[in-house]
Amino acid sequence: MQKEIGIFDEMKKTLDELNGKGILLVAGDPPNVMTIGWGTLGVIWHRSIFTIMVRPTRYTFGKIEKSATFSVCILPKGYEKQLAFCGSKSGKDVDKIQHCGFTMEPGIKTDTPYIGESMIHYECRIVHKHRLDPQSLDGPIDKQFYPKKDYHIVYYGEILGVYRKEG
């Protein structure tokens, strides 16, 4: 059962997982999952925002571009292999949801589903997006993370609900 919790109740856990094994982004119809390790939580425009980044070269990019919403899912311990798989394979080549045995549940406040095995999930509505501007990007960051010049699109998702699995 999913219990709605405060927007920032699991912020530390979310940031720890982003900086650790990663978390899963769900986007599109039919949905695709992608492991992400970069993102932020905060307040912009008097709204709670989950900021994510997707490169235009990723299969998920085409999915999220056609969506108004996305979900972000934090899996419990024991799903490290699935997280690694979803971060190394393309949804263009393999159905990652089926391969990993994930159960997709309908979103509670959005049309985007979430992974039923998640211990925490965020449901977000895209309120803004932009491409990283290479001209204003710090040189060492550009050199280290963008040698192919495949700059991310940054998506700002208003957090409509955060849920923790109970029971």
Q: CATH 2.30.110.10: does it fit domain 2-165? A: yes
Decide if 167 contacts 62 (C-beta within 8 A). no
Is pLDDT above 80 for 58?
yes
Decide if 60 contacts 34 (C-beta within 8 A). yes
SS3 109: coil
Cα–Cα distance, 125 to 130 (Å, whole number): 15
pLDDT, residue 156, reads 98
For the entire predicted model, the pTM comes to: 0.96
pLDDT, residue 167, reads 73
pLDDT digits (tens, 9 = 90+) for 135-157: 999 999 999 999 999 999 999 99
Cα–Cα distance, 65 to 12 (Å, whole number): 29
pLDDT, averaged across the chain: 96
